[in-house]
Structures are given as C-alpha cells and as structure tokens.
Amino acid sequence: MQQNKSGLLPKWLFLSTTLHLIFIISQLYFPYVKTEPSVVICSTILCCIKLVGIKRMGSCLFYLVVAIATGIDVGFFVWFGVKKIVNMNWCLFEVILGVLTLGWMVFLYPYYLMDENINDRKKDE
C-alpha cells in the first residue's frame, strides 16, 4: 500500500481542486450566473480525475495524471475564454491558478521522483 506524500503540494492540490469543484457545481444553482453545461461537465470530470490522482500521489503515473488534468483544465479555460463562453476574469483566474500549480508541480517533480526511488530501494533490501 502506498502512502500519501507529505508536504504542501498534495495539500494545496487537494484544497484548490475541492474548492474549484465546489465553485463549478455552485455555478449551476446561481440564477444570475449563466454557465454553459459544457464548462461544468468538463471541469467536474477533470476535478474528479485530479482528486483521484492526488489520493494516489505516491506513484509517478498518478503525479503525471494530475499534471495532465491540470494542463487540460487550463487549456479548456483558455478555449472557453476565447469563445466567450465564460467571463474573462474567471478565465484569467483559472489560467493563472493552473499555471502556478503546474509550475509548482514541475519544480517539485524531482523531489517526488527521488523520494519514490529511495522508497523502492528500501523495499528491495
């Protein structure tokens, strides 16, 4: 059984993804906000994928899944912003948050990879 990674990155990813999911779903229930169902469906699916990946953050594959889902989410919001499906402020917020998260993940990836290699060596001994 793999352990969850300690550190601030998994906590940040879990918190930001959960808040993002709550915000996206709440958009359906605000009568004064017009949100396309495609935005809600795409973002909800990607948030659920990220939450599953965060839970299994000890594996490089799941780390990659979280990074790809975050990148796709940023790409969708750029596309939704260009097509004027979502408000430009919301689009900019999501893109900035996603780019910062991806940058943080890329910066910390060697730490997680090194930690996984050390754990694999301990299991072999």
Q: What is the pLDDT of residues 45-100, one digit of tens each?
A: 888 888 888 877 666 777 788 888 888 988 988 888 888 887 788 888 888 988 88
User: Would you give the end-to-end CA distance of the chain in angstroms?
Assistant: 17
- Please say whether the beta carbons of 125 and 67 come within 8 A: no
> Would you mind telling me the total number of residues written for the chain in this entry?
125
Q: What is the pLDDT of residue 33?
A: 65
Domain ranges of the chain: 8-124
Q: Tell me the two tokens of residue 69.
A: 């889902």
